[in-house]
Amino acid sequence: MENETTIDEFYTDFINELKATLTYREIEVPDDLVLKTEIDKAIGEINRCRRFVPTEEKRYDIKYKDMIVPMCMFALSKVGVEGENSHSENGVQRIYVSDGEYPHELMSRIVPLIK
């Protein structure tokens, strides 16, 4: 694959887990760079909420590792409906738990560091 050289080893497990989950749920799997971007956004949001300053050695607080893929899945499932709280189409109504990129109940698990 052409973009594999641009994705460092850090992302490999996350990308593989995302691909497997998306495939299982029969959701179109975007290319690795899109998945990397979603992973970076999720980690960035965790760090922002946590008030965690990443380093090259420690990109995020490891106790929040299990939140990264679910956050990515939530964001990817809302592609095309960004900014909507709900919508109806062909008699099907969808109501979203959160109007943001990530659900509140997931984000509420992040405990900020005291600064």
In a domain, 29, yes or no: yes
Report if pTM > 0.85: no
Neighbours of 94 (CB within 10 A): 11
Q: Tokens in use for 83?
A: 């900014």
Q: How far is CA 15 from CA 2, 24, 29, 31, 75, in A?
A: 15, 14, 10, 10, 14
pLDDT score of 38: 96
- Cα–Cα distance measured from residue 28 to residue 61, given in angstroms and rounded to the nearest whole number: 30
Count of domains forming the chain: 1
In a domain, 63, yes or no: yes
In a domain, 78, yes or no: yes
In a domain, 113, yes or no: no
List the domain range (segments joined by +) for residue 67.
2-107
Mean pLDDT, 10 residues at a time, over the chain (115 residues)? 61 96 93 96 96 94 96 82 69 68 88 87
